[in-house]
């Protein structure tokens, strides 16, 4: 028993010693490493904050991305990327700085100008301890404008010639092959526009005088147009619809209820036709017959019918099957002054002056008188509205020296244009690209649609027609814009029919479209600035003089 107890005691002692040694050995091991997941804190691009979208970045930027923890170099290649907006990879190097807490990303070659790029970091990025990035992220930036000249420098007169000639191709080369009328836009097929065609007709005297076409060619085109309008095109009360089929003359509804006469579009067409009548003043049978046909078209418009029962206002639409369902009175201030002038001027269906004073001039938004950017605006909405208010009617009506009871129209249009210019120069909404060389808000295509842009409806889209058609009012500012659009942005904006309809440097969007109502004023208003040709022709019409005098206008040419 003693021997057995002794052995048992020795065994317990031995186990205790072994247990003690094991315990001492475990307590001396280092603790397992702590894995920490890194987080992104902030970034810079060329020392500027890398926000959600940064504009105007140079083409060799240094991009720094800062994190809370040191990073593992071996995970950079598969975790950090630079791509363009389409997702195509851009070669770039990524290295660590600042105790491995900062990634320096640099493109391997110069980036393209005016292009969007995206920096992305995936959650495969690891800290030095092996922890994965908590939240993957992407940051975008847009590179700066390339200020180099895209085309050789030419004289100002040569540039104006070039713009007028190239833009004229929209109406000449792209005019409808049957009717000769202007398609609504470059994708319209057989759909032609009555108002845009009127603008295109006004371009013909310009093209002849500047030797883009011959007088004989211009006369032939006018004969085609006038014959179609007189003999083929469907008319309602002598007025034309907004849209026609250029091959058949059938009405193409502008909307479900707008399937008949459009008096405003008709007035633009008649302005063009009367201008052409004054230009083609030869005694030969061709020009004599053309003038007679134009007189027939103008005299057949029942302007007085559009008073809708002898009211003292004109109505915009009349439908052959839905009558006055649109019920839209034409009240100013907007683009429709020419409608009242031509209605008052009609020798067959004229209106009294009371329709002008009680209708056009009675709208709540007619008189303004406010001061914007140091310019007083006699008429119209706050800050002037879209610039086509100063263009469409005044393609034929000369505003210089023109006054009535409500305004001096040279002051009205000049100040409207300057307010638009100063708004874009000041750029209160901070849109990228706006400047004293890149300005002009008016109706145009926009990404995904169409809108009448103005200082109170500014979506970041500029239209070349806005500044260029303001040439008679703001020659210095408009010429500066023209040179910028052509020489600097010309690789993106200058195409087969002149400048594209609109663009946004904010969105890096360039319209694929050309619109008749935007291309026409460019040619006509530049010519009015250069020679006054269209003003002189239109206001030489005896009917126009009588109509404007009836409405209370005074001007040196009346």
Q: What is the pLDDT of residues 374-403, one digit of tens each?
A: 999 999 999 999 999 999 999 999 999 999
| Inter-residue long-range contacts of 81-88, CB under 8 Å, 24+ positions, other chains counted | 81/119, 81/120, 81/121, 81/122, 82/107, 82/117, 82/118, 82/119, 82/120, 83/117, 83/118, 83/120, 84/112, 84/115, 84/116, 84/117, 84/118, 85/115, 85/116, 85/117, 85/118, 85/508
pLDDT at 25: 47
pLDDT at 52: 81
Query: Phi and psi of 217, rounded to 5°?
Result: -65, -40
Secondary structure string (H, E, C) spanning 227-250: HHHHHCCCCECCECCCEEECCCCC
Selection from 174, 145, 206, 158 nearest residue 482 by Cα: 158
Predicted confidence (pLDDT) per residue in 523-550, tens digit: 999 999 999 999 999 999 999 999 999 9
CATH topology of domain 156-550: Glycosyltransferase (1.50.10)
Residue 20 has pLDDT above 80, yes or no: no
List C-alpha distances in Å: 286 to 176, 280, 291, 293, 399: 22, 9, 9, 11, 33
Q: What is the chain's Cα-based Rg?
A: 35
Residue 484 has pLDDT above 50, yes or no: yes
Please state, in angstroms and rounded to a whole number, the distance separating the CA atoms of residues 348 and 267: 15
pLDDT at 334: 97
What residue ranges do the domains of the chain occupy?
Answer: 40-143, 156-550
pLDDT at 18: 39
Beta strands in 455-557 (DSSP E): 494-495, 498-499, 503-504, 509-510
Write down the pTM of the prediction.
0.93
Predicted confidence (pLDDT) per residue in 106-139, tens digit: 999 999 999 999 999 999 999 999 999 999 999 9
Q: Which pLDDT band holds residue 23 (cuts at 50, 70, 90)?
A: very low
* Helices 337-345/542-550 angle, 10° precision: 110
Q: Which pLDDT band holds residue 5 (cuts at 50, 70, 90)?
A: very low
Evaluate whether 503 touches 462 at the Cβ level (below 8 Å).
Answer: yes
Evaluate whether 333 touches 365 at the Cβ level (below 8 Å).
Answer: yes
Q: What is the SS3 assignment for 538?
A: helix
Distance, first Cα to last Cα, the chain? 145
Please state, in angstroms and rounded to a whole number, the distance separating the CA atoms of residues 241 and 261: 4
Predicted confidence (pLDDT) per residue in 435-449, tens digit: 999 999 999 999 999
Selection from 343, 423, 350 nearest residue 383 by Cα: 423
pLDDT at 51: 87
**Cβ atoms < 10 Å from Cβ of 366:** 18
Selection from 530, 193, 199 nearest residue 391 by Cα: 199
Residue 184 has pLDDT above 80, yes or no: yes
Residue 3 has pLDDT above 60, yes or no: no
Quickly tell me which residue has 């195409």 as its tokens.
495
Is beta strand 53-57 parallel, antiparallel or unpaired with respect to 137-143?
A: parallel
Residue 510 has pLDDT above 70, yes or no: yes
For 424-440, the DSSP string reads HHH-TT--TT-SSSS--
pLDDT at 22: 43
Summarize the confidence of residues 86-92 as an average pLDDT.
97
Q: How far is CA 19 from the centre of its chain?
A: 85
- Cα torsion 170, 171, 172, 176 to 10°: value is 110
Summarize the confidence of residues 495-513 as an average pLDDT.
98
Q: Which pLDDT band holds residue 29 (cuts at 50, 70, 90)?
A: confident
Predicted confidence (pLDDT) per residue in 187-213, tens digit: 999 999 999 999 999 999 999 999 999
Q: Which pLDDT band holds residue 279 (cuts at 50, 70, 90)?
A: very high
Q: How far is CA 3 from the centre of its chain?
A: 109
List C-alpha distances in Å: 556 to 61, 340, 403, 549: 60, 20, 10, 12
Q: Which pLDDT band holds residue 13 (cuts at 50, 70, 90)?
A: very low
Q: Which two tokens stand for residue 204?
A: 């013909």
Q: Which pLDDT band holds residue 459 (cuts at 50, 70, 90)?
A: very high
pLDDT > 90: what percent of the chain? 93
pLDDT at 485: 98
Omega before 548 cis (within 30°)? no
**Cβ atoms < 10 Å from Cβ of 249:** 18
Please state, in angstroms and rounded to a whole number, the distance separating the CA atoms of residues 461 and 152: 27
Query: Phi and psi of 389, rounded to 5°?
Result: -60, -35
In what helix (H) or strand (E) does residue 168 lie, and over which residues does it extend? helix 156-172
CATH class of the structural domain 40-143: mainly beta
Evaluate whether 111 touches 60 at the Cβ level (below 8 Å).
Answer: yes
Quickly tell me which residue has 């938004």 as its tokens.
365
Residue 304 has pLDDT above 50, yes or no: yes
Residue 176 has pLDDT above 70, yes or no: yes
Q: Please state, rounded to an integer, the average pLDDT across all residues of the chain.
A: 95
Q: Which pLDDT band holds residue 27 (cuts at 50, 70, 90)?
A: low
pLDDT at 32: 77
HSE (side-chain half, CA atoms, 13 Å) at 128: 10
Residue 7 has pLDDT above 50, yes or no: no
List C-alpha distances in Å: 339 to 269, 316, 344: 10, 9, 9
How many residues does the structure list for the chain? 558
pLDDT at 26: 52
Q: Which pLDDT band holds residue 28 (cuts at 50, 70, 90)?
A: low
């Amino acid at each position: 028993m003693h021997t057995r107890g002794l052995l048992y005691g020795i065994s317990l002692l031995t186990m205790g010693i072994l247990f003690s040694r094991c315990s001492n050995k475990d307590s001396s091991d280092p603790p397992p490493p702590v894995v920490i997941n890194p987080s992104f804190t902030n970034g810079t691009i060329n020392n500027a904050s890398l926000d959600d979208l940064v504009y105007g970045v140079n083409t060799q930027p240094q991009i720094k991305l800062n994190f809370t923890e040191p990073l593992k170099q071996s995970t950079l290649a598969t975790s950090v990327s630079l791509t363009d907006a389409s997702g195509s990879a851009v070669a770039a190097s990524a290295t660590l700085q600042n105790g491995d807490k900062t990634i320096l990303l640099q493109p391997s070659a110069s980036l393209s100008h005016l292009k969007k790029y995206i920096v992305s970091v995936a959650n495969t990025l690891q800290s030095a301890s092996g922890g994965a990035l908590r939240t993957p992220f992407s940051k975008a930036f847009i590179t700066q404008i390339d200020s180099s000249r895209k085309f050789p420098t030419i004289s100002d007169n040569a540039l104006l010639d070039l713009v007028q000639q190239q833009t004229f191709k929209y109406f000449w080369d792209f005019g409808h092959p049957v009717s000769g009328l202007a398609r609504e836009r470059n994708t319209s097929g057989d759909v032609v526009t009555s108002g845009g065609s009127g603008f295109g007709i006004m371009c013909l005297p310009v093209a002849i005088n500047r030797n883009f076409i011959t007088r004989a060619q211009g006369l032939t085109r006018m004969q085609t147009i006038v014959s179609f309008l007189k003999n083929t095109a469907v008319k309602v009360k002598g007025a034309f619809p907004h849209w026609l089929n250029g091959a058949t003359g059938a009405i193409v509804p502008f909307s479900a209820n707008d399937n008949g006469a459009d008096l405003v579009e008709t007035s633009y067409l008649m302005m063009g036709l009367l201008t052409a009548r004054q230009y083609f003043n030869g005694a030969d049978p061709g020009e004599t017959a053309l003038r007679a046909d134009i007189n027939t078209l103008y005299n057949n418009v029942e302007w007085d019918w559009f008073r809708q029962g002898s009211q003292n206002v004109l109505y915009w639409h009349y439908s052959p099957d839905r009558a006055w369902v649109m019920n839209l009175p034409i009240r100013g201030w907007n683009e429709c002054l020419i409608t009242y002038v031509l209605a008052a001027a009609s020798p067959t269906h004229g209106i009294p002056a009371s329709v002008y004073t009680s209708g056009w001039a009675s709208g709540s938004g007619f008189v303004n008188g406010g001061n914007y950017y140091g310019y007083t605006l006699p008429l119209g909405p706050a800050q002037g509205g879209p610039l086509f208010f100063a263009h469409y009617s005044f393609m034929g009506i000369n505003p210089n020296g023109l006054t009535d009871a409500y305004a001096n129209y040279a002051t009205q249009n000049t100040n409207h244009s300057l307010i638009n210019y100063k708004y874009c120069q000041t750029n209160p909404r901070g849109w990228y690209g706006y400047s004293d060389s890149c300005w002009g808000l008016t109706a145009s295509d926009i990404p995904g649609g169409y809108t009448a842009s103005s200082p109170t409806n500014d979506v970041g889209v500029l239209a070349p027609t806005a500044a260029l058609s303001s040439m008679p009012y703001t020659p210095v500012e408009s010429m500066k814009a023209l040179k910028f659009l052509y020489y600097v942005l010309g690789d993106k904006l200058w195409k087969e029919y002149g400048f594209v309809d609109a663009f946004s440097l904010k969105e890096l969007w360039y319209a694929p479209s050309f619109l008749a109502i935007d291309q026409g004023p460019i040619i006509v208003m530049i010519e009015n600035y250069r020679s006054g040709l269209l003003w002189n022709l239109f206001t030489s019409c005896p009917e126009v003089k009588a109509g404007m005098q009836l409405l209370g206008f005074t001007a040196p040419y009346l």
